[in-house]
Amino acid sequence: MTRRMGMRGKRRAVILLAAVAIVALGAGAGAGAQQARKGKTLLWGATIGEQFTGDKAPWDMGAVSAFQSLAGKPLSVISFFSPWMDCSTKPCTPFKFPTTPLESVRRYGAIPFFSWASDQSPPRVHNPKFQLADIIHGRFDSYIRTFAHSAKVWGHPFFLRFDWEMNGFWNPWGQRVNGNRPRQYRKAWRHVHRIFTEEGATNASWVWCPNIDLSRKLFPLERLYPGNRFVDWTCMSGFNWGKRADSAGWQSFDTVFRSTYRRIVHIAPHKPMILGEVGSNERGGSKAHWIQHMLRAIAHHYPKMRGFIWFDVNDRGTNWPIESSKAATRAFRRGIASPAFATNRFGQLAGSPIRPPR
């Protein structure tokens, strides 16, 4: 009797230990899953063209609604562009600070990503009226100061991507074009930044955004960086052009971005990064697989990347939009559903500069 009771006790002990082990394993697995969910949170959004409603977002927020229905999730960033001057008629007239579209984005709950170009509409690469020297010597100071004052009055945080892809030759502020000289880009950037600071427009988070440079044939990035005091976020623009004329052919996300990513991180190791423009063609490979890999790579293999903006615009005959095929739309929708990608919870965002979401 005593022995049988001892055996039962041992069995109970074994069962109890097993139960404890299972609970511990379960807790460990739960902790592991929780730890996985605690990875970095990413901003995501789009530049949305006029293919949905006949007008671009956020001038028409119906375009945002149409894109959101495809993506299956509210955006946390909405991107749009404006040059300094409208020269479609004579004389040229300055574009004012875009309070209405910025406010529309904020009320939607996203962060505005505003690309502001020292250029005119229609654009011209060779334009002696818009040289970097003109900015440095104060020709546009009155306009910049008025614009900065309006930014302060509006008062809410926004990303300001000023004169992007400056290492290229396709914009009037680029290097080796339009009479621009080395070192002028940094001086022009700092000049504009100082005016914003003097006007108290500290709600602008300054985004320095070169183009990807696979072959290192563009202007060296180190000579274009304005300095840590004048930059809040770094950035890149890059595309998989796929099978089309004047293209290097189908390229993976890593091929497009990795080498330039490493150079930028070397230049500004403590700055968060966002992809200001990214997209893939349909021709030459699987766009759906390209999107799947992109979303995984940004989340897990590029630690400084804290957001991306998909270029959902029909541009120069290339199928950038996610709606270019059902497979591409489905891949984007499934990938962006991950909790790693933030939704539109930034309507009450305060503080400057904008910090990566937690």
| pLDDT at 110 exceeding the cut of 80 | yes
Q: CA dist 302 to 63, 143, 211, 290, 341, Å?
A: 30, 38, 17, 16, 15
Please indicate, yes or no, whether residues 64 and 204 belong to a single structural domain of this protein: yes
Task: State the CB neighbour count (10 A cutoff) for residue 208.
Answer: 28
| pLDDT at 15 exceeding the cut of 70 | no
> Which token pair is 278?
């990214």
pLDDT for 35 equals 33
| pLDDT at 24 exceeding the cut of 90 | no
pLDDT for 291 equals 98
d(CA 319, CA 119): 26
d(CA 328, CA 70): 10
Position 353 in a domain: no
| pLDDT at 36 exceeding the cut of 80 | no
pLDDT digits 0-9 by tens, 245-290: 888 899 999 999 999 999 999 999 999 999 999 999 999 999 999 9
Please indicate, yes or no, whether residues 3 and 46 belong to a single structural domain of this protein: no
- % of the chain beyond a pLDDT of 90: 85
Q: CA dist 179 to 130, 132, 182, 192, 243, Å?
A: 10, 8, 10, 19, 34
Please indicate, yes or no, whether residues 75 and 167 belong to a single structural domain of this protein: yes
Position 145 in a domain: yes
Please indicate, yes or no, whether residues 9 and 66 belong to a single structural domain of this protein: no
The model's confidence at residue 25, banded by pLDDT at 50, 70 and 90, is very low
pLDDT for 6 equals 40
Average pLDDT, rounded, for the chain = 90
Position 345 in a domain: no
Please indicate, yes or no, whether residues 175 and 66 belong to a single structural domain of this protein: yes
d(CA 270, CA 272): 7
pLDDT for 245 equals 84
Position 205 in a domain: yes
| pLDDT at 108 exceeding the cut of 60 | yes
Question: How close are the terminal C-alpha atoms of the chain, in Å?
Answer: 62
Instruction: Name every residue whose Cβ is closer than 8 Å to that of residue 78 and which is 6 or more positions away in sequence.
Output: 45, 46, 48, 57, 58, 64, 105, 108, 110, 111, 112, 113
Q: At what angle do helices 141-154 and 99-108 cross, to 10 degrees?
A: 30
| pLDDT at 9 exceeding the cut of 70 | no
d(CA 40, CA 138): 42
Q: At what angle do helices 141-154 and 184-199 cross, to 10 degrees?
A: 50
pLDDT digits 0-9 by tens, 303-330: 999 999 999 999 988 899 999 999 999 9
pLDDT digits 0-9 by tens, 131-176: 999 999 999 999 999 999 999 999 999 999 999 999 999 999 999 9
What global pTM score does this model have?
0.89
Please indicate, yes or no, whether residues 11 and 71 belong to a single structural domain of this protein: no
- Whether the Cβ atoms of residue 232 and residue 205 lie closer than 8 Å to each other: yes
pLDDT for 123 equals 95
Please indicate, yes or no, whether residues 99 and 205 belong to a single structural domain of this protein: yes
Please indicate, yes or no, whether residues 55 and 25 belong to a single structural domain of this protein: no
Please indicate, yes or no, whether residues 96 and 25 belong to a single structural domain of this protein: no
- Whether the Cβ atoms of residue 82 and residue 348 lie closer than 8 Å to each other: no
Position 349 in a domain: no
* CA nearest to 248, candidates 217, 204, 203: 217
Please indicate, yes or no, whether residues 174 and 235 belong to a single structural domain of this protein: yes
pLDDT for 246 equals 83
- Whether the Cβ atoms of residue 180 and residue 225 lie closer than 8 Å to each other: no
The model's confidence at residue 38, banded by pLDDT at 50, 70 and 90, is low
Position 111 in a domain: yes
Please indicate, yes or no, whether residues 234 and 222 belong to a single structural domain of this protein: yes
Mean pLDDT along residues 75-85: 98
Position 160 in a domain: yes
Mean pLDDT along residues 102-115: 98
Mean pLDDT along residues 184-196: 98
How many structural domains compose the chain?
2
Please indicate, yes or no, whether residues 203 and 324 belong to a single structural domain of this protein: yes
pLDDT digits 0-9 by tens, 199-244: 999 999 999 999 999 988 999 999 999 999 999 999 999 999 999 8
Task: Residue 112: give the domain boundaries.
Answer: 40-336
Position 192 in a domain: yes
pLDDT for 96 equals 98
d(CA 185, CA 166): 8
Which helix (H) or strand (E) segment is 3 a member of?
Answer: helix 2-37
> Which token pair is 89?
């008629």
Mean pLDDT along residues 182-211: 98
